[in-house]
Amino acid sequence: MSVKHAILALLYQQNRHGYDIKTQFESMVHGQWPLNAGQVYTTLDRLTRDGLVEPLAEGDRDRKEYRITDAGKEALHQWLLTPVERSLLKDAFFFKLLCAQEIDFPRKSEILNRQRSSLIRHMMQLRQLRAGLDPKRHKAMIYLVEGGILHLEADMKWLEMLLEESEME
Amino acid sequence: MIVVEGLRKQYRSGEQPVVDHVNLEVKQGEFTAIMGPSGSGKSTLLNLMGGLDLPDQGTVYVDGLPLHTLSEKRRTLMRRRKIGYIFQNYQLLSMLNVRENIAFPMSVDRCPKEEIQLRVQELVKELGLKGKEEAVPDELSGGQQQRVAIARALAMQPKVILADEPTGNLDRKRSQEVMEILLHLHRKERMTIVMVTHDLSVAGYAERILLYKDGRIESDIRQKEGDMPRVLEDFLAQLQT
């Protein structure tokens, strides 16, 4: 996932200038990540170089608008249809556990307990965030948060299993 | 609002107590979840907090009154007037309709008829039960039955709601509806709620979670303000790559 594809998606809907892309992007991620204007223009330059977007003549107040090209549409379609790989080894907590195992760390159950508390706090935060979302206006964000809740539930079950096993050791 | 001091309960001698010298304070307006595996004793703790069961040792104070040293009559009155109970299996009276079930605690308390009528009307509206007033529990879905049970728990305008696995028999969508009602009661009316659950996603609605295991509180976790949930951090971090 990248800013590149987010910009292609925003231009897919309509032609936009840089500042419009920035504000629409921030609205798309529910204001959780303010996008640097510089990053927008650098990415637009790169997309133009690769033939995925093209600049239009300068419009009102000298703002340059951009349009997605057919190649850009195709690149966006391909990206949307490509499944996302998952790797457990890239999970930071799992990697920590592997290292603890490797050095036979004596406080392994403390690692698990601390992780559990952190996970529970995250669940409370997600629930709080979810409660503030309007089903009509924030549909995509609700999907994201619900997905996060389900992931946390699975993480919790996994942690409980590890805790049970560490208690039996 | 609720203070638990040195509470102990053991069902059989020689066995591990299901509540083992538990101390706890729940403040007015707090939404607390007690989370633990089945058989950990969390329901027994809740029953002791609500005066539905008697401890071997220790005391529970509700609104400053020592619940277990009151006479049976005063304890019953206090339970009826200050505490609302919600159970996993709803515990509605099958021969009474929705209106009568909601009115039940007020009728037992001999409240004036007009007052009962008004309160029931209010609760029917609040809990989205309009049009179902004459239905008996068997004619309702699980989610609707639990909403009737919540309305009944609220009938006497209690200070505390004690909920034992309130979503235990419901699917994900109905669970969410029931939990949103409890969250609304907590946020808008500053209702003190203590809820027992084994389910993290349900416990997550609370602002404080007590992890309960083998008769003891293992951890007391409170919500920290202002942190961005990890799922969003992950999402945004990926976006930047």
Residue ending a domain, among A39, A58, A81, is: A81
Which of the pair, A68 or A125, is modelled with greater confidence?
A68
Question: Are A102 and A46 members of one domain?
Answer: no
How confident is the model over A90-143, as pLDDT tens digits? 678 888 888 888 888 888 888 998 899 888 988 888 888 888 888 888 787 888
Residue range B37-43: average pLDDT?
Answer: 88
Q: Are B164 and B182 in contact (CB under 8 A)?
A: no
Give dist(CA A107, CA A97) in Å, integer: 11
Give dist(CA A67, CA A47) in Å, integer: 11
Query: Domain containing B175: what range?
Result: 2-236
Q: What is the CATH number of the domain that holds B36?
A: 3.40.50.300
Q: What is the CATH number of the domain that holds A54?
A: 1.10.10.10
CA trace torsion B183, B185, B188, B193 (10° rounding): -80
For B236, the closest chain A residue by CA position comes to: A33
Statement: residue B55 has pLDDT above 90: yes
Number of domains in chain A: 2
Q: Does B38 touch chain A (CB under 8 A)?
A: no
Residue range A141-153: average pLDDT?
Answer: 86
> How crowded is residue A10: how many other Cβ atoms within 10 Å of its Cβ?
18
Number of domains in chain B: 1
End-to-end CA distance of chain A: 41
pLDDT category at B227 given cuts 50, 70, 90 is: low
Residue ending a domain, among A65, A81, A97, is: A81
Among A121, A126, A152, whose Cβ lies nearest the Cβ of B224?
A121
pLDDT over 90, % of chain B: 63
Residue range B109-123: average pLDDT?
Answer: 94
Model pLDDT, residue B231: 54
End-to-end CA distance of chain B: 50
Residue range B26-49: average pLDDT?
Answer: 92
Question: Are A61 and A103 members of one domain?
Answer: no
Identity of residue B129: L
Residue A113 with chain B: CB contacts under 8 Å: 219
Model pLDDT, residue A142: 85
Question: Are A136 and A153 members of one domain?
Answer: yes
Question: Are A36 and A106 members of one domain?
Answer: no
Q: What is the residue-wise DSSP string for A82-144?
A: SPPP--GGG-HHHHHHHHHHHTT-TTHHHHHHHHHHHHHHHHHHHHHHHHT--TTT-HHHHHH
Model pLDDT, residue A105: 85
Would residue A62 be called left, alpha or beta, if left means φ above 0 and alpha means ψ between -120 and 50 degrees? left
Question: Are A146 and A118 members of one domain?
Answer: yes
Residues 33-72 of A with CB under 8 A from B: 33
Question: Are A76 and A112 members of one domain?
Answer: no
For B226, the closest chain A residue by CA position comes to: A125
pLDDT category at A63 given cuts 50, 70, 90 is: confident
Question: Are A94 and A134 members of one domain?
Answer: yes
Least confident window among A52-56, A101-105, B26-30: A101-105
Q: What is the residue-wise DSSP string for A12-71?
A: HHS-EEHHHHHHHHHHHTTTSSPPPHHHHHHHHHHHHHTTSEEEEEE-GGGPEEEEE-HH
Model pLDDT, residue A136: 85
Residue B159 included in any domain = yes
pLDDT category at B241 given cuts 50, 70, 90 is: very low
Statement: residue B220 has pLDDT above 90: yes
Tokens of A137: 């206006």
